[in-house]
Amino acid sequence: MLTKLKNRIRLFFGFSASETNGLIILVPILLLILYAPTLLKEALNDQSSQSQLEDELLLKAWLEESKSKLKTEDNTTFAPTFFNPNKIDEERWLALGFKKKTAQNIIKYRNAGGTFNKKEDLLKIYGINKKLVTAYYDYIIIPKSRRKPKSNAPPIKNVVEKMVIEKEAAKFDINLADSSQLQIVRGIGPVLSDRIIKYRELLGGFTNTDQLKEVYGIKEDVYLRMLSHFGVIISSVEKISINQDSINLLSKHPYLNYKTSRAIVKYRKQHGDYQSVEDLKKIHAISDSLFQRIAPYLKVERTE
């Protein structure tokens, strides 16, 4: 048969006897080289699949055995895992094998401010499975709280207040600033600085920096720049006597018009001297917002 194959190859291709013999030897080798990877891969896959199947069967058997062993005497499942009783939620407590009512009691205890400082504290929870707590004893993790070392440094609030006072002290007092000092702020020239001083005099002095916004011509950006340079350091203002001063004198204050000033004097004549500045709240013409603005500029002096 092999001789017939050689003859057919020689007749078909025109090869010599030696060439035909070489071809017959070469072809099987080439076929082996071409198909060897595929055959090898299939063989390895079969072996791997068999090995994987065996591993899965062994793992399944081990898990079944573990489940049967990890049972407490009261048939509650014990699932060994590390946990911090101060952190885990209700769902996690249930997964650990504790009853729903117990898990809720633990959450309520923590929400009320309670904490577990040591493992034994869990036993304080009403209705908790003590055997299960004992089983988990080595898996309970409660980090030790780090106590901050005592410091002789002053409280942070005092430090902040001191910083604010020092920062304010570095500013000019808006009640003492002259025209040239006001003009260090970009956007304030001679006209605007004079206007600020005149308004300060009409008020009797600024009680807070917000009043600078009431000066005609001061824009928001100028006001913000002023805050970097000026503050109310000395909050002493000239006060008006609501028991002695006349309607005309009262109405000169920017916060009081003639009508309101007349109401103040009229009330005084009808009811006698004011006992305190708070008595002005009894006058309908004076709103709460107006009282808050004008009160720092008023005083009570009894007439003789």
CA atoms within 13 A on the CB side of 78: 21
Q: CATH homologous superfamily for 156-231? A: Photosystem II 12 kDa extrinsic protein (1.10.150.320)
Sequence-distant (≥ 6) Cβ neighbours of residue 226 within 8 angstroms = 174, 185, 188, 209, 212, 218
Q: What residue type is 116 in one-letter code?
A: F
Per the CB < 8 A criterion, the answer to whether 205 and 237 are in contact is yes
Fold identical between 71-143 and 156-231?
yes
**CATH assignment, 240-299:** 1.10.150.280
From first to last of the 304 residues of the chain, give the pLDDT tens digit. Answer: 667 666 666 566 666 767 767 767 777 787 777 767 776 666 666 555 565 666 666 655 554 554 444 444 445 555 567 889 999 998 888 888 889 999 999 998 899 888 999 888 888 888 898 888 888 888 888 887 655 555 565 565 565 554 544 444 457 889 888 999 899 999 999 999 999 999 999 999 999 999 999 999 999 999 999 998 888 876 678 999 999 999 999 999 999 999 999 999 999 999 999 999 999 999 999 999 999 999 999 999 765 5
Give the span between the Cα atoms of 201 and 34, in whole angstroms. Answer: 107
pTM: 0.45
Domain spans, the chain: 1-43, 71-143, 156-231, 240-299
* CATH of segment(s) 71-143: 1.10.150.320
Q: How far apart are CA 29 and CA 202, in angstroms?
A: 115
